[in-house]
Amino acid sequence: MKSTRTDARVAVIGLGNVFLGDDGFGCLTVERFRSEYECDPTVEITDLGTPGLDLSPYLYGKDLVIIVDAVNADGAPGTVAAYSEKDFLEDRAALRLTDHDLGLAESLAQLRLAGCGPSELLVLGAVPDSCEFGRGISAAALAASSTAVKQLEKLLIEHGVNCHERPHKQQPNLWWLAAESFTEAS
């Protein structure tokens, strides 16, 4: 395990469209993580939805960026895995084909050319079951979210970030989910 860095600039970013079924996986997971865990104040935890090119300021000059999103990758729906930036460049995994995909690739390219991209970029992704409009989050994505929250904690700790469960969990703001769907999966 790496030693804790007090000067780390870390961003945890949820991407996705909550109206497109499992494409909302990143938003769901980041909100659950925010309500269940506390991290150093140098860690920004943000649900950005589908930011397009507006993603650049959130990546600018960071030591570590972890993007949480639905991914096109091998595996059954609900399979959770962490991917490096290299995995996406070599087509081992791809973000869902929605409005935010081009924003991530273009934002990274622009920042890398300017010499101010993130030092390390990871994507914590889950294979979706369905990304149809109005379908809602599947049972597989709900279960994957629980796994991803724990894996997100592990990734941050491995990168020297002080991160721990809140003594009193906050209520997550999951306005797009039916309350009974989330309660059953928790």
d(CA 183, CA 45): 23
Q: Is residue 3 a part of any domain in this protein?
A: no
What is the mean predicted confidence (pLDDT) over 135-157? 95
pLDDT digits (tens, 9 = 90+) for 12-46: 999 999 999 999 999 999 999 999 999 988 899 99
Q: Is residue 45 a part of any domain in this protein?
A: yes
Q: Is residue 57 a part of any domain in this protein?
A: yes
Q: Is residue 27 a part of any domain in this protein?
A: yes
Domain count, the chain: 1
Q: What is the pLDDT of residue 101?
A: 52
Q: What is the pLDDT of residue 51?
A: 86
Q: Are 121 and 67 in contact (CB under 8 A)?
A: yes
What's the Cα-to-Cα distance from 76 to each of 115, 163, 173, rounded to whole Å? 37, 30, 28
Q: Which domain holds residue 91?
A: 10-180
CATH of the domain at 94: 3.40.50.1450
Token output for 104: 């991530």
Q: For the whole model, what pTM was predicted?
A: 0.85
pLDDT digits (tens, 9 = 90+) for 42-88: 899 999 998 877 889 999 999 999 999 998 888 899 999 998 887 76
Q: Is residue 2 a part of any domain in this protein?
A: no
Q: What is the pLDDT of residue 93?
A: 60
Q: Is residue 89 a part of any domain in this protein?
A: yes
pLDDT digits (tens, 9 = 90+) for 76-126: 999 999 988 877 666 656 654 444 455 777 888 889 899 999 999 999 999
Q: Is residue 176 a part of any domain in this protein?
A: yes
Q: H or E segment at 7?
A: none
Q: Is residue 150 a part of any domain in this protein?
A: yes
CA 54 remoteness from chain centre: 16
